[in-house]
Amino acid sequence: GILWQQYRFEFALIVLISVIAYVWFSKTTTDWRTQFIREANQADSKSNTRAIDSLLNYETVKYFTNEQYEADLYDKELEKWEQAKRKNRLTLFALNGGQALIISSSLTAMLVLAAHEVSTGRMTLGDFVLVNAFMMQIFLPLNFL
């Protein structure tokens, strides 16, 4: 509202589009990431269960000389866990990268517009700094999403 009232409507429009894009991207990507988080949690649970079961029943494993068999099963479960964690991390990088791209693009657009306004004399240098500060105050709370 302040940007719309004190400056041109383009400033407010950039903020509005940026916030909507940020929230939409964050929600969509987080919903997509949820499957990978669940997959990682399930793989972690299975690998822990395999290790605990083998250790609690070590006498039976030893009696039937299945040490290598149990070790191979545990390795397979750990491999699934590593794959799931890798997917989880990569999707987190995609989320953070997309959010950073939206913030950077909107901040760049806002500062280019403000710089143009300063160069034409419709804004002062103090207004330029104020617009930058407003943008920072708008996007810092969005990181909590």
pLDDT (tens digit, 9 = 90+) per residue, 124-139? 888 888 888 888 888 8
Domain extent at residue 79: 2-142
How much is the average pLDDT of 84-98?
Answer: 92
pLDDT at 145 over 70: no
- Under the banding of pLDDT at 50, 70 and 90, the label for residue 102 is very high
DSSP of 89-125: HHHHHHHHHHHHHHHHHHHHHHHHHHHHHHHHTSS-H
CB proximity list for 83: less than 8 A, separation 6 or greater: 43
| Orientation angle between helical segments 125-142 and 67-120, nearest 10 degrees | 160
Q: Could you give the number of structural domains in the chain?
A: 1
Tokens in use for 135? 């943008």
| pLDDT of res. 53 | 82
pLDDT at 77 over 70: yes
Of residues 29 and 123, which shows the higher confidence score? 29
| pLDDT of res. 2 | 67
CB proximity list for 98: less than 8 A, separation 6 or greater: 25, 29
| pLDDT of res. 67 | 82
Of residues 113 and 58, which shows the higher confidence score? 113
Cβ(92)–Cβ(37) below 8 Å: no
- Under the banding of pLDDT at 50, 70 and 90, the label for residue 52 is confident
CATH no. for residue 124? 1.20.1560.10
Here the contacts of 18-21 (C-beta below 8 Å, separation 24 or greater) are 18/102, 18/103, 18/105, 18/106, 18/138, 18/139, 19/138, 19/142, 21/102, 21/106
| pLDDT of res. 4 | 67
pLDDT at 37 over 80: yes
CB proximity list for 34: less than 8 A, separation 6 or greater: none
